[in-house]
Structure 1
Amino acid sequence: MDYLPDISAAALPGIYLEVEGRTGEPMITAGLNASDLTLLRVEPSRPAANQPARATVFATEEGVAKLRRKVEDFAGKERKSGRPYNADLVQSIGAIVEAGLRALWRSPPQRFPAQEGAVPWEVWLDKAQAQAFIAGAAELDVAIGADRLEFPEDIVVIATATRDALALAVRRLAGVRALAAPTVTADYFDAMDPDEQADWVDNLLGRTTFEAIDDPNYVTLLDRGVSRAHPLIEPALAVADRHAAHPAWGVEDIVGHGTQLAGLSLFGDLTPAFQSMLPIRLRHRLESAKIIPDAGHNPHHLLGAVTRAGINAAETAGVRRRTFTLASTTEDDTPHDGAPTSWSSELDQLAAGVSGIVATQRLVLVSAGNSDQNRFGNHDYLTTSDHADNEIESPAQAWNAVCVGAYTEKNVLPAGVPGTPLAPIGDLAPSSRTASWSSHWPIKPDVVMEGGNWIVNGPPPPMKHPALSLLTTDRQYPLRAFTTVGETSAATALAARAITELWSDYPELWPETIRALFVSSARWTARMRLHLPASPGKGHYGPLFKRYGYGVPDMERARRSASNALTLIVQDRITPYRESDTGGADHVHNEMRLFELPWPVEALRALVAHPVRLRVALSTFIAPNPSEPARGSKFRYASHNLRFKLNRPNEDRAAFIARISKVEEEPGGPAFDENDGWTFGRNRRDVGSLQIDELTCPASDLARRNLLAVHPVAGWWKTRAVLNPNERSVRFALIVEIDAGEVESELYAEVQSAIEVLNLAEIAV
């Protein structure tokens, strides 16, 4: 065993060993599963094929030493009976070598990938080590899908990688218990006969608890209605919670789209749900407000009005925390180039609470709209996706709504299906529309979620395939229980589920705050970041924002506060403008909010030059003014615009306030250069009603940057035509995240102590 690598010198967590028995003899494996030795797999001998038994073992450095001692004791020690120590184990071993991927393979040998390129692998991970493997895999060119299957001792993920890349990740990261060929896709369940599908419904229902909660959150689907006949939907959708925008319309779903979204917004993609045997807890409920008639369509000029009528109908049920989910868009307004339309403006009014029968702020999600697959060739689909003709459809450009685009991790086709997936894993879904407008309109989409993939098989255009789609509920139950769905509608339903679960964790937070937490948690996948140069400048992020927004939301990050990472949340109000004391042509800025952040100064100083990432999100809901002159200006469309600023490392309180106040009256807001570590910069950050940026700096520098200001810039409330501006206060949410990476630190503990004496100062300017 001296040929094995030095685990300590190679900085490996351990080593995978393939232990081969002797031909024709049983292998005794009891001694291979002990402290520091983990028996992962045993393949019995096959005498007919002259193949000995094999075992796969993971050994830490101490485990290797322990195994070596067992062999040495066999050679040099005898028991009183005269039999050598460890005889059963050692005499049954023919060879011990470092294991390759095949030693971890649990599928039939012929299914082991033969091709040289990147392919999907089913990776079984030890629960205790799964997160470390997932976090480190991307740096080794192993793309891990978002879906997870959880079992009592394992977490199963789908990884896409070449054999060499996966082998390197397995060796360096450990935690892998087995590898297999991905086999079950949505088409497997979709193709079942009704009786089989009903059995799977019963199985899932048996594992699902619809928790009794006095004040649950609701996903309110603004769609074609929802069928209550489906057993997976009926417990979450009360009879009285189905509504219609028009009193003469029925509430049933006769098309299927609403019922499909209902299943996704409750359970997510049913394919991984059916493969996991873990219990499911559902805390949120469903509402349905039909805004699309069963026959014909809504006149274009009534799209905003019918959306408002649907929301009004739902809100007759009383005050609830609702995630309004709209997966319907129009191409009649294209090209709009990001400018407001009547429908998007009404959506902004509804979110801000200045429209509708209830004067309340609303959390609204809207899909980005879908591409026509006939426009695509089989190569370089991103070029076609980026074309101006593929711009996001109205009303998805609404400032206050969360616009959801689609990406995909679906790239597994069943054996024997010809063709290849069009989009690479982790990149834009072919169906997703993208932004085409200049930087002064909001970043859209805000986020992307799974929307499925298309298949290339022969000449263009590419085709949809059930295996590359999401599995969900079918309105025709009991004739059919399942169907497949995709595109940005499916992505929006998944986003509704995720953001509503987040709101269920924090029911006291405002819609503005939940929006900020959700969107700010998003990150670009490793595949998306491949479109950046090695050392990107601020301008290089433009294509990523237009395709993916801020990326894929991470609910663990949205909820997280750990020893080395934390999130601070502020909910506050500000009165942005007041009448001019000198009787000027316009009103003037009234106040700003200055926050002295409870920074973990001692913990940051202890990290010295270690890089720390700060991410800030500022969220407010604006009241829109879509008049023709305002359509070309973000400062005349929004009632108010807010910005955030952070002090510099050597800038004290007085200098910081003076710097902001000095230039605040400029039409575009402060124009000073902030080339001090911010990743996205002013051109990308200072747009819309949600601003997000991050900076990375040495921990010791961040310790001195503990002042954060929220201040107004121009908006249409600042014009002389608006009466009593000092009576117009607005809400805002501020999210501040600090992440020290993998380093050991006590950021959270120090901040928790500092919060007790948190001082939030209001400064008049």
Structure 2
Amino acid sequence: MQNPAQAWNALVVGAYTEKIQLNDPLFQDYTLVADEGQLSPYSSTSIIWERKWASRPDVVFEGGNLLRAPDNSIVRHENLELLSTSKQFNTRKYFDTIWATSAATAQASWFAAKIAFEYPEAWAETIRGLIIHSANWNTAMFAQLNVVKGNRTSFRNLLKTFGFGIPNLERALYSQESALTYIAQETIQPFNYKGTTTTTETNEIHFFNLPWAKDLLLDLGETPVKLKITLSYFIEPGAGEIGWKDKYRYQSHGLRFDVNNVGETEDEFRRRINIAAREENEEVNGNTGSQRWAIGVNNRSTGSMHSDFWEGTAADLATCNHIAVYPIIGWWRERKNLEKVENETRYSLIISLDTPAQDIELYTTVKNIIEVPIEIEI
């Protein structure tokens, strides 16, 4: 993975492939480079990047496959590429093939356009967030990298190879009875001056008390449920060419999310988040229940887009409806001479709750609750 894929604010698109059908007798002695569902041979990864950089790509789309010849050389074949219109249309060559990450990026652009058309009021932060939030990995991706659930290193390699997986348009656009999505588009002021213009401090923390189908979830008991959260925002890169002299010089600010733990009351959760913000730690410490998250706090906390999920029982998730979005230090706060301390910034918070169980009216239950507007406390 090379320049400009390290750009924090960009949606970086890689490629996987399901192209494995080749009905050409001239190539019967050739073998496929990638098996079905694996990384496309055209795609790059960020495996060798330092951990402080965002894991890339963010998502993958179909990019085609390649063949290995008997002499071990690598060759293309149009059957393993995507059909598209030809750039030489006026010469009666109406169709041609497209491949590699160019093909994947074209599909990502189409995907983003579909979201923008369906939801014209969606911010760019939301569109990027929904693409990532809707994505998932297939079994071939897990097998290719020997991913073990609960092993954070293997999940980190999964992110650095496939991003968050293959986006699902239906999941990005719509909620269902057993799979609902909340979206909040908010503005936050991360920092301000403390009394004078010489001392700065963390400013706002946003607390969400979501309308939650608590009684329904309790009734479902041991039914498996998945909670997924994505936080999407844009940073302002560090002015000048200071780069990574220290970890606060590149990003103007950072945002993080946290959810109250099983058995943690709203008051306990608020105290934990507020103490962490006052102590100016980069991450919230204490009883975070960090082991419940599949990707993990450290793996998800790079870049300007953070996503993670938690699979548990409906009963465990019944009371986990308190979510906080809080800032961490950036150069807006530390470089006071640039007069950005009191800047505001936008973010999109996307939360989904779904279950494989059938005939579960999650969506209808929550829809009835949200007739009362959601209040966000600051």
What is the CA distance between 1:674 and its match in structure 2? 3.5
Which of residues 221, 238, 251 is equivalent to 1:638? 251
| Alignment partner, residue 216 of structure 1 | none
Tell me if the contact between 2:290 and 2:297 (Cα under 8 Å) persists in the aligned partners.
Answer: no
- Equivalent in the alignment of 2:329: 714
Q: CA deviation at 1:453?
A: 0.5
Query: 1:596·1:707 contact (CA, 8 Å) conserved in 2?
Result: yes
Instruction: State the Cα deviation string for residues 701-740 of structure 1 (Å, max 9, x = none).
Output: 21111110111011111113342623x1111101000011
Matched residue pairs, number?
370
Q: CA deviation at 1:668?
A: 2.3
User: What residue in structure 2 maps to residue 423 of structure 1?
Assistant: 34
2:146 maps to 532
Aligned to 2:57: 445
Which residue of 2 is the match for residue 397 of structure 1? 6
Distance 2:119 2:273 in 1: 33
In structure 2, give the amino acid aligned to 1:744: D
Pair 1:697–1:455, CA change in 2 (3 A): same
Instruction: Give the TM-score taking structure 1 as reference length.
Output: 0.47
Q: Is 1:414 matched with 2:54?
A: no
Aligned residue number for residue 165 of structure 2 = 551
Q: Distance in 1 between matches of 2:289 and 2:248?
A: 21
Distance apart, 1:438 and its partner CA: 2.4
Counterpart amino acid of 2:31? T
Deviation for aligned residue 1:633: 4.5
Gaps of 5+ in 2: none
1:91-130 map, 5 Å? none
TM-score by length of 2: 0.93
Q: Which residue of 1 aligns with 2:294?
A: 679
Q: Deviations over 1:146-177 (max 9, x none)?
A: xxxxxxxxxxxxxxxxxxxxxxxxxxxxxxxx
Please give the secondary structure, in 2, of the residue aligned with 1:495: helix
1:759 and 2:374 correspond? yes
Report the aligned-residue RMSD.
1.7
Indicate which of 64, 81, 89 corresponds to 1:469: 81
Measured in 1, the distance between the counterparts of 2:42 and 2:24 equals 24
Match for residue 520 of structure 1? 133
Q: Which residue does the alignment assign to 2:310?
A: 695
Which amino acid counterpart does residue 715 of structure 1 have in structure 2? G
Deviation at 1:630, TM superposition (A): 3.2
Counterpart of 2:356?
A: 741
- Identity among equivalent pairs (%): 38
Q: Following the alignment from structure 2 to structure 1, what is the Cα–Cα distance between the partners of residues 247 and 130?
A: 24
Q: How far apart are the structure 2 equivalents of 1:490 and 1:408?
A: 11
1:582 to 1:669, Cα distance in 2 relative to 1, 3 A: farther
CA 1:399 to 1:466, structure 2 compared with 1: closer, same or farther past 3 Å?
same
Equivalence for 1:600:
213
- In the alignment, what sits opposite 1:478? 90
Which gives a bigger RCO, structure 1 or 2 (Cα 8 Å, sep 6+)? 2
TM-aligned CA distance change 1:748 to 1:589, over 3 Å: same
What's the counterpart of residue 389 of structure 1? none
Change (3 A) 1:736 1:406: same
Moved over 6 A (4+): none
Contact 2:202 2:280 in 1 (8 A): no
Contact 1:639/1:717 (8 A) holds in 2: yes
Contact 1:412 1:468 survives alignment (8 Å): yes
| Partner AA of 1:589 in structure 2 | T
- The equivalent residue for 1:6 is none
Matches within 5 A, 1:17-416: 392-416=1-25
Q: Which residue of 1 aligns with 2:231?
A: 618
Q: CA-to-partner distance for each residue in 1:617-643, whole Å, 9 max, x for gaps? A: 001111111644433555321111000
Contact 1:620–1:732 under 8 Å retained in 2? yes
1:434 aligns with 2:50: no
Give the residue type in structure 1 aligned to 2:344: S
Q: Is the 8 Å Cα contact of residues 669 and 714 (structure 1) preserved in structure 2?
A: no
Max radius of gyration: which structure? 1
Report if aligned partners of 2:148, 2:154 keep a CA contact under 8 Å in 1.
no
Q: C-alpha displacement at 1:671, in angstroms? A: 3.6
The change in CA–CA distance for 1:632 and 1:524 in structure 2 (over 3 A counts) is farther
CA distance in 2, matches of 1:624, 1:453: 36
Amino acid at match of 2:250: Y
Q: Structure 1: any 5+ residue segments left out of the alignment?
A: 1-391
